[in-house]
Structure 1
Amino acid sequence: MSGMRTREAGEVFGPRMTLFADVLSVGLATTAACLPLLTAPAALSTACAVLRGAGEDRPATAGRYFALLRRRLRTGDLAAGAMALTGALLFAADLALAGAGLPGAALFATVAAAIGATAVVVAVRACGRPESLTDWPAAVRGAARDAVRDPGGSALALLAVATAALCAWMLVPLAFLAPGPLALALTAVDVRLAGRTDGATAAPTRPPAR
């Protein structure tokens, strides 16, 4: 997103303010698209795709968001939503059992929290990858590799999710806007890793010493 244009003469708001407004509008659109629950992964993935296009001078608007979402909704997207919803329900049930005072509950809760955090990181990083638009299995495999080789990005993704959840919990109206900044953060994490990988590939190799 470094290729944003400079402010035109007489323009009140600069490109960064425009992007901020676009992020909020995309966030509202994403919230609306997530309401059926099964569409949540596709909704977040589409938001990341739309915001990624802002760095390529494509409009990041709610209209473009819904147009892209209508073209991509398919059986695979709904299956991804069903798996995500099932995983969330199982995780909530496990934590409820851990809180019931069963023997070894503290250790079980710790292990369940670690597994849940890992699953969340892989899931949200998969939504941030371009492959999620057409191939969820490939996106999940790529996200799992990224989670291992890029722990810093995984920490940033988990922090973005925690921040969005905290904002929604502290002030309920923010829940309607939180998906936009979350999608922007996930897109930035993916673009950051892609740029770093491309830079390492393009770096000239030093000739062997003679």
Structure 2
Amino acid sequence: MGTREPGEVFGPRMTLFADVLSVGLATALMSLPLVTIPASLSTACAVLRGAGEGQPATAGRYFALLRRRLRAGDLAAGVVALAGALLFAADLALAGAGLPGAPVFAVVAAGIGAAALLVGLRACARPESLTDWTAALRTAARDAVQDVGGSALVLLAVATAVLCGWMLPPLAFLAPGPLALALTAVHIRRGVISEN
């Protein structure tokens, strides 16, 4: 793993890093319609998961896999995710309007939003998300509760991606790649812990 192939300039680890960035850029582009975010992120996780099995982790493989899998269920998952995000934003806006009990409501809404985001992201990392979002969400919810360390890692990865995008906006277009890599690593970590 640590040796370079003939003609390879940087070595396999740097190649994987470049592949993660190209998959991240492809994911960002395909997420622009917003309703394709879950399918785009799920596909990125599948491509990066395949890298561990010797398959290429390239933008070309990403687009080929996404083209084959975009279906009504993927778009429905995107609509549900977008509706949830809009409802969450509206709830926080109402809490900020100074209604009675707003601080408590804001904390509860933030907790529910974080839990929903956590389960949604962990579902994107599951292989079942390629064919069955319901099964992926069910298993991801169980994993989120049973694997508290993995859940903390996912939330930390999201916070890092948001912080990088906030500090340097052009990085926001590359953030989905490292985020997908983190989600995939947490999923693989969960499998390794379950086997031991």
Name the TM-score, length of structure 2 as normaliser.
0.97
What is the letter of the counterpart of residue 195 of structure 1?
Answer: V
The equivalent of 1:189 in structure 2 is 186
The equivalent of 2:20 in structure 1 is 23
**Distance in 2 of aligned mates of 1:37 and 1:58:** 28
Shift of 1:10: 6.0
The equivalent of 2:147 in structure 1 is 150
Deviates more, 1:174-183 or 1:10-19: 10-19
**Distance in 1 of aligned mates of 2:19 and 2:135:** 29
The equivalent of 2:83 in structure 1 is 86
SS state at 2:98 partner: coil
**Distance in 2 of aligned mates of 1:171 and 1:21:** 19
**Distance in 1 of aligned mates of 2:21 and 2:7:** 24
TM alignment of 1:170-181, pairs within 5 A: 170-181=167-178
Determine which structure has more spread, i.e. the larger CA radius of gyration.
Answer: 1
What is the letter of the counterpart of residue 34 of structure 1?
Answer: S
| Superposition RMSD in Å | 1.1
The equivalent of 1:48 in structure 2 is 45
The unaligned stretches of length 5 or more in structure 1 are 201-210
Work out which of the residue numbers 107, 110, 135 in structure 1 matches 2:107.
110
Q: Deviations over 1:146-179 (max 9, x none)?
A: 0010001001001111111111111110011000
**Distance in 1 of aligned mates of 2:9 and 2:59:** 22
The equivalent of 1:162 in structure 2 is 159
* Percent of aligned positions that are identical: 78
What is the letter of the counterpart of residue 10 of structure 2?
Answer: F
The equivalent of 1:203 in structure 2 is none
Q: Does 1:126 align with 2:110?
A: no
**Distance in 1 of aligned mates of 2:59 and 2:7:** 26
Work out which of the residue numbers 33, 40, 46 in structure 2 matches 1:36.
33
